[in-house]
Amino acid sequence: TGSSDECFKINPDSITIFDKSYPSDTWTNVPPQILSALPRKLHLQPSHPIGILRTIVESRFPSSTYARHNTLPAIVSTAQNFDSLGFPMDHPGRSKTDTYYVNEKTVLRTHTSAHQADMFREEEKPGFLISADVYRRDAIDRSHYPVFHQMEGARVWDRKAYASSEELVAAITEDINNIPPTTFSVTVEDPNPPHHAERNPLQPTHSAPEAEAVAAHLKRTLEGVVAEVFGRARQAKIEAGLLTPSTTEEPLKIRWIEAYFPFTSPSWELEVWWDGQWLELLGCGVVQHPVLSSASPSCESKLGWAFGLGLERIAMVLFGIPDIRLFWTRDARFLEQFGEGRVCWFNPYSKYPPCYKDVAFWLPQATEPAAGVSAAGGLGEMQNGQVFHENDLMEIVRGIGGDLVEDVQLIDEFTHPKTKKSSKCYRINYRSMDRSLTNEEVDNIQEKVRQALEKEMKVTLR
Ligand code: FA5
Ligand code: MG
């Protein structure tokens, strides 16, 4: 499949992507629809919300210190995406229910961290920023899409440049003064200690003052990013008449929470209080020394921080975009609303009516393994000898319904008391961003979905 204007071609034993051929194998699970997203590059479009947000974030990082990498290719090795970052072999992120594999050793990057080790090795500046499209098999709803965009940032210091650990700590602390000042203020909640022996440990290569100085530099840097982005979001809302200026006297509220990533320690997530709830923006931490030391012998003497933030969720609140699928539309009524470097509140063109269809089925017995996408691996849900991977269902629905699917929700499940067979019922909500759907058209898609579930997941339709 893949028409001549596509960047890929799926052959019986291989996949050709941007003129490079990859042999396929039992790991291959990347569908044509996902490969079609590879050339879109929303983060490089100056008047697209994702591109505008990328530029605002970049404006917080002086280019003399932070190199920019915005065109790194999305196809990476499992060594880059996982091994270089110390992911254990049994980490769920490696499973083919979560990740798009081109083949056993090749994936669509699941995060921009896939490039950390390469950048630490190759980059001459002490810091870098990466923006890129990333790919994950996931649920379907208004805030999840299998392709989204991340920005990665990192900053390192080389011990060799300092006479002592005290001088190094002083230099890192001094660098905090070089973070550009912000126009907007934030109130920061940071209730946890900077490291904790069990929950968020120091690394053996770092003294407490070193890790604390790196963490302080990291946190102040990211607080500046959030102040800038959400300060602008408030301004856009005021301009759209959705907030009165007096509301802005109330400071913006953010909080640091402890987190875990295989490639940083200690680690945190940053959340912002927005529209009455905490919104997760990013993950970050002090870079695990083995990530640096395995990247290159010249990094053995370095230490520093890294972060990764998701652009879509921030752009949704920044521009008032109600559904993540809108970023992908080619409809001029969407695209023409945004101008380079400008944050403005999205004016939804008419919302078309939704149409939902339910599908109920019995799960297959594990003794007859499901064919196709879920034939092996992954952390599926095992119930009474029945195996089921929800992400496989999502992928099938998406493969057939494409962007007409607004969300998919489990609305009912039960196990028959005698036979112990389990049944699930999913509600598929269809709605186009750009036009009205006919019932006939939706029935047609739903019928194809039912047939595919039966054939590919070996479920028994009810
Ligand atoms: C990561 O991807 C880490 N690589 C982040 C990191 C980098 C940590 C460097 C430490 C050092 P996580 O899976 O939590 O972490 O994703 C990071 C951010 O991406 C999230 O905070 C969220 O803002 C965004 N994100 C994650 N999944 C989705 C999704 N399905 N849709 C939209 N945004 C998402
Ligand atoms: Mg997370």
Closest C-alpha to ligand 1, atom 31: 144
Instruction: For the chain, give every residue range classified as CATH 3.30.70.380.
Output: 355-461
- Give how far Cα 424 sits from Cα of 360, 365, 414, 459, Å: 6, 14, 7, 10
Does ligand 1 lie within 6 Å of residue 312's CB atom? Answer: yes
Give residue 111 CA to ligand 1 midpoint distance, Å.
Answer: 7
Does ligand 1 lie within 6 Å of residue 313's CB atom? Answer: yes
Beta strands in 66-146 (DSSP E): 66-69, 75-77, 101-103, 106-108, 127-135
Give residue 119 CA to ligand 2 midpoint distance, Å.
Answer: 23
Confidence of residue 366 (pLDDT cuts 50, 70, 90): low
Does ligand 1 lie within 6 Å of residue 283's CB atom? Answer: yes
Global confidence as pTM: 0.88
- Identify the weakest region by mean pLDDT among 124-138, 271-285, 292-306: 271-285
- Identify the CATH class of 355-461: alpha beta
Does ligand 1 lie within 6 Å of residue 141's CB atom? Answer: no
Provide the ipTM.
0.98
What mean pLDDT do residues 403-427 have?
94
Confidence of residue 383 (pLDDT cuts 50, 70, 90): low
CB 38 within 8 A of CB 74: yes
Distance of CA 36 to the CA centre of its chain: 18
Give residue 402 CA to ligand 2 midpoint distance, Å.
Answer: 25
Atom of ligand 1 nearest to the CA of 284: 10
CB 324 within 8 A of CB 145: yes
Instruction: For the chain, give every residue range classified as CATH 3.30.930.10.
Output: 40-74+109-335
Residue 114 has pLDDT above 70, yes or no: yes
Q: Mind giving me the DSSP string for 276-306?
A: TEEEEEEEEEEEPHHHHHHH-GGGTTEEEEE
Does ligand 1 lie within 6 Å of residue 148's CB atom? Answer: yes
Give residue 308 CA to ligand 1 midpoint distance, Å.
Answer: 6
CB 329 within 8 A of CB 433: yes
* Rounded Cα gap, residues 388 and 456, in angstroms: 12
DSSP helix/strand/coil, 174: helix
Residue to probe by mutation, ligand 1, list 108, 110, 150, 407, most atoms within 8 Å of CB: 150
Cβ neighbour number for residue 140 with a 10 Å cutoff: 23
Residue 179: burial class (beta carbons within 10 Å; 0-12, 13-18, 19+): middle
Given CA atoms 222, 53, 123, 99 in this order, what sign does their dihedral have? positive
Instruction: Record the tokens describing residue 132, joined without a space.
Output: 């890129």
Does ligand 1 lie within 6 Å of residue 109's CB atom? Answer: no
Q: What is the DSSP-derived secondary structure letter of residue 110?
A: S
Confidence of residue 348 (pLDDT cuts 50, 70, 90): confident
pLDDT (tens digit per residue) in 38-50: 999 999 999 999 9
* Rounded Cα gap, residues 106 and 82, in angstroms: 11
pLDDT (tens digit per residue) in 144-164: 999 999 999 999 999 999 999
Spatial CA neighbour of 56 closest among 358, 309, 292, 342: 342
Does ligand 1 lie within 6 Å of residue 147's CB atom? Answer: no
* Rounded Cα gap, residues 22 and 74, in angstroms: 14
Q: What is the DSSP-derived secondary structure letter of residue 83?
A: G
Residue 2 has pLDDT above 80, yes or no: no
Domain covering 40-74+109-335 assigned CATH 1.20.1560.10 in the classification? no
Residue 379 has pLDDT above 70, yes or no: no
